[in-house]
Amino acid sequence: MRMILVGPPGAGKGTQAARLVHDHGICHVSSGDMLRAAVKDGTALGKQADDYMRRGALVPDDLVIAMVIERIGKADCADGFMLDGFPRTRPQAEALDRAMAAAGVALDAVVLIEVPDGLILRRITGRRSDPETGEIYHLEFQPPPPAIAARVVQRKDDTEEACRARLEKYHSETAPIVPFYRDKGILRTIDGVGTPDEVAARITAALGGKVRA
């Protein structure tokens, strides 16, 4: 299975990706996680990306495309992958198409998780993650267990200001790639409002109930 998760910031892409990669036995390729790791490690890519990310702007296409295309060419992605947060612009979608055609593989599904803008800010500002396990929590919707509550951290771009900028970028740059995939007949649109279990069930049904035994 080769698939893409698309949706506004805070739609639940990371939350659902964790379940889907487990169910389908595929590798999880999150462009945001890769960029945050590069920033943390102080690599040349990380130094270039840091300012864009803090502001909630998009990291330039050439940097992100090279990073993701190289990643999905690795051996652990040979049997399938879940792209989370990529592509986010039309040039990224076209570059992915070319790379996959060159590799003789095709996308099986693009899952669009829709959540109204009014809910996004609450989801983003309440998000916390466990630096030791990478587990995602929410102060209100999915509170971290007491044993780890003191060590959870907030992302630098989860401020109200950066969230508004990210949402604007989503509508201007990312939403326009949706028709590109609809025209290919592989788009599955999911209502992202509800509990994570409810959303997961909708995605599984939209994918034809195909989960690993």
7 binds ligand AP5 (CB under 6 A): yes
Examine the residue annotation and report whether 188 is marked as an active-site residue of this protein.
Answer: no
With CB under 6 A as the contact rule, the residue among 2, 14, 95, 203 that binds ligand AP5 is: 14
Stretch that binds ligand AP5, among 71-79, 95-103, 122-130, 175-183 (CB under 6 A): 122-130
Cα–Cα distance for residue pair 55/67, rounded to 1 Å:
21
Please answer whether residues 50 and 152 qualify as being in contact, where contact means their C-beta atoms are separated by less than 8 angstroms: no
CB of 53 to ligand AP5, least distance (A): 4
Nearer to ligand AP5, 9 or 24 (CB): 9
Q: Which two tokens stand for residue 72?
A: 């999905």
136 binds ligand AP5 (CB under 6 A): yes
Q: Among all residues, whose Cβ is closest to ligand AP5?
A: 32
Q: How many residues bind ligand AP5 (CB under 6 A)?
A: 36
With CB under 6 A as the contact rule, the residue among 72, 109, 199, 203 that binds ligand AP5 is: 199
* Subset of residues 85 to 114 that bind ligand AP5, contact rule: CB under 6 A: 85-86, 88, 92
137 binds ligand AP5 (CB under 6 A): yes
Of 13, 128, 169, 202, which residue is the catalytic one? Answer: 13
Residues in Cβ contact with 156 at an 8 Å cutoff, skipping those fewer than 6 apart: 53, 54, 162
Stretch that binds ligand AP5, among 97-105, 130-138, 183-191, 203-211 (CB under 6 A): 130-138
* Subset of residues 46 to 85 that bind ligand AP5, contact rule: CB under 6 A: 52-53, 56-59, 64, 85
- Interface residue list for ligand AP5 (CB under 6 A): 7, 9-15, 31-32, 35, 52-53, 56-59, 64, 85-86, 88, 92, 123, 126-127, 136-138, 141-142, 157, 166, 194-196, 199
